[in-house]
């Protein structure tokens, strides 16, 4: 269940969602022509990890991750319903996993896990949805896991590096008094 958020929290999360979209719109076109599944999640993954970690450090309430990725998904819905579905399902899964393990975002490990887990889950959810609606094209990639596993591993690595950097940045911003909960 989404906790009660203040208007200030929602505005902050909307700004983070706008930053995530801006990063995606700048980075994804660089790799969009590569015919490798998951490559569109690999490129912005460190930035997503960083910005999601800062958002979760600022608003440490259950549902925060889901709100941010839903706002991102609403913009992506105007382009394709599949991108909306991938973002929202991956966000919900990441949120559920973190809340099942930690119960809240009060611990920094929960923030790190949520921010780092989201982008690799978009790869897995994208492959799952692609297998359902994509037909033989995606099935060909699923039959060759050597194409998927390196991209998934690199996405997870970059996402967790970005989340760790976001955790460090958020802690420094909190010490400086810029990021208040």
Position 23 scores a pLDDT of 94
With a CB cutoff of 8 Å and minimum separation 6, the contacts of 57 are 108, 111, 166, 167, 170, 171, 174, 179, 181
CA distances from 72 to 20, 25, 104, 145 (A): 7, 12, 22, 29
Question: What are the tens digits of pLDDT across the range 25-47?
Answer: 999 988 888 877 778 888 999 99
- The whole-number pLDDT of residue 68 equals 96
Domain ranges, ordered by start, for the chain: 7-176
Going by C-alpha positions, the residue among 122, 1, 115 that lies closest to residue 58 is 115
Least confident piece of the model among 62-71, 81-90, 135-144, 167-176: 135-144
> What is the residue-averaged pLDDT of the chain?
89
Taking the C-alpha atoms of residue 146 and residue 141, their distance in angstroms, rounded to an integer, is 9
């Amino acid at each position: 269940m989404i906790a009660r958020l203040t208007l200030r929290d929602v505005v902050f999360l909307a700004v983070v969602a706008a930053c995530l979209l801006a990063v995606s719109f700048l980075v994804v076109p660089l790799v969009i022509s590569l015919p490798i599944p998951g490559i569109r999640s690999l490129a912005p993954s460190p930035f997503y990890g960083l910005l999601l970690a800062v958002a979760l450090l600022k608003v440490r309430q259950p549902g925060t991750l889901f709100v941010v990725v839903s706002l991102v998904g609403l913009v992506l819905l105007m382009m394709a319903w599949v991108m909306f579905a991938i973002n929202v399902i991956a966000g919900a899964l990441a949120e559920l996993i973190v809340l099942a393990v930690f119960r809240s975002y009060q611990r920094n490990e929960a923030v790190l896990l949520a921010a780092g887990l989201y982008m690799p889950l978009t790869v897995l959810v994208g492959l799952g949805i692609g297998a359902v609606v994509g037909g033989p094209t995606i099935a060909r990639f699923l039959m060759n896991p050597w194409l998927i596993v390196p991209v998934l591993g690199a996405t997870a690595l970059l996402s967790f590096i970005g989340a760790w950097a976001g955790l460090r940045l958020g802690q420094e911003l909190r010490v400086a008094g810029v990021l208040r909960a």
